[in-house]
Structure 1
C-alpha cells in the first residue's frame, strides 16, 4: 500500500511539474474574435487572453498607430483594422474584414466606449456631449450587434459580448450621460437576446467596477490634477468593496473568456457584474451600541 501511494504521488507531482495546469487549457481553440476598442485597456487585455486561449483576434480601434502596435505586440494571431464605431460602414467593414481574413466570426466583443466629462448636474447637461457619448457607447454597440448578427445568423451560432458598467445598474456613480449610456447597453443585450436565441447565438454583457485603464486614468487626471499615476490608481483601488483584491483588466478578460467559451454555452441575456460585491449592498452606517450615549 505504501509503495502504491508513493507511486501515485510521484505521478501527480510529475503532471504538475510538466505544466499540465488549468492555464494550459485552450478554451477558445480555433475561434475567431473581433474586438472593438482593443488597442488598450480592457480590449487589449481581452485580446491577449483570447489569443492565449487559442483564438485569432481582429483588433478594431480608432487609434491607428496604437492599434498596429498592439497587434504587433500580441503576435501573428492578432490583426488590426481601423474602426470608428460611430460610422456604421466602419463596423460593417471590420466584420467583413474578419470574414475575409479568417472565413468566419465566432465572437464579437463590442467594447469600444468613452468616458463622459460633463458637469454633474442635469441642469448643466451638455446635450452635444450627450449625443457624442451615446453615439459611441450605445449606437456603436448596436452597430456591432447588427453586423455580427448579419454573419452569425446564417451559421446559426456565435457569441456577442458588450462592455457595460456598474454605473449602468446603480445610479449616482457617474455623470448622467455615462450612466444612461451604460444602462442602455445592458438593456440592448436583453432585447437582442430575445431574438438571437432562436438562431443559437448567445449575447451577454460584462459590467466592470472602476479600473485604472487609460480611459479612466485620463478622466482621473482631469478631476485630480497634480496627482501622479500611482496615487490616482490608489484612489480607484480604494473605492472597491472587496478587501485584498483590486479589479484589473485581466479580470474582465477572464470573464469574457468564460462567456465566450463552451463553459457558458447555456448563458445568454446575462449581465455579468465584476465588482467585488460593490453593487450588492449598502451600509446604513449606524454607530455601534457602545458608541451611542
Structure 2
C-alpha cells in the first residue's frame, strides 16, 4: 500500500458490509482514520474492533438528517477534521412482477435512505470542508441510475437523482475546493440484491439470484467478476490528490456494462470475425 490517505479523516456511510466494508478496509490500509456509519450495529462494531484504532463505529441512519449531522461532528471530534466523505449507504426497492404491480409502498424509505442520505451527507460534510480548506465527497449511485430497465423502479429513480445531484453539488462546491464525484457500480455481488426480494421470492431466492447474476454476466463485456474491492479502488482515486482536477464526474465500475451490448463473437486481432 502507498499510504495515500495517511492521517486523513473520513466517513463511510453503509460501511459495515458489502461495498462499504470494502471501502473502509481499503481506506484504513491507506492510512486513513475512518468513521464507519451504519445501522448494522453488530457488524459495524465488529469491523471497527478488527481494524483497531484507525476506525470507530457510529450507528447512523442516513434517512435521519440529525444522525448525519452527528456522524460528521463525531469525525471532527475524534479525528480533528473531515477530509473525505463517502455517501455509500443505500437500499433497494422490492422486486415486483412489473410496473402495474408496483404500489410504491416503500418509496419514501428508499428515497430517504438513497437520496436524502446522500444530499444531507454532502451538505453537512461540505459545510465543514468549506471552512477548512476543502475536501473530497464521493457519492454512490448505480448503473441502475444510468441504464433504464424494468423492476425496482424507486431504486433506479433514486440512483439517477444521485447522479444529477452530485453534478449540481460539484458545480456549487468547487468554489470551496471541494470535489464531488459519483461512482456507479454494477454487477457487484452484495447483500442489496437479496434485500430486493419479496417474501414470496425468498422461498426460491437461490434460484432467483442465480438467474439475475447470470443475466448480469451475459450483459457484461468483461467476463471477470467484479468485487467490492474494485469499487473501493475507484473511490480511493476520487478521495486522493490523484483526482485533484476531477469533479462532477460519474464513473461506472461495471465491467463495461453501460458501454454497450457484448459482441456475439470474439473478434480476431485484425478486427475480423465480429458480428
Give me the TM-score of the superposition, normalised by structure 2.
0.88
- Structure 2 unaligned residues grouped into runs of 5+: 266-275
1:163-182 to structure 2, matched below 5 A, reads: 163-172=140-149, 174-182=151-159
Task: Report if aligned partners of 1:118, 1:129 keep a CA contact under 8 Å in 2.
Answer: no
- Of the three residues 238, 257, 260, the one matched with 1:278 is 257
Q: Distance in 1 between matches of 2:129 and 2:232?
A: 22
2:4 matched to 1:27? yes
- Structure 1 unaligned residues grouped into runs of 5+: 1-23, 287-293
Task: Report if aligned partners of 1:34, 1:58 keep a CA contact under 8 Å in 2.
Answer: yes
- Max radius of gyration: which structure? 1
Match of 1:99 in 2: 76
Shift of 1:244: 3.9
Aligned residues: 263
2:160 matched to 1:183? yes
- Of the three residues 101, 112, 117, the one matched with 1:140 is 117
- Secondary structure, in 3 states, of the residue corresponding to 2:130? helix
Task: Report if aligned partners of 1:212, 1:236 keep a CA contact under 8 Å in 2.
Answer: no
Shift of 1:217: 3.6
Shift of 1:141: 0.7
Shift of 1:146: 1.0
1:52-201 to structure 2, matched below 5 A, reads: 52-172=29-149, 174-201=151-178
2:246 matched to 1:267? yes
Larger proportion of helix:
1
Task: Report if aligned partners of 1:62, 1:83 keep a CA contact under 8 Å in 2.
Answer: yes
**What is the Cα-based RMSD across aligned positions, in Å?**
2.4
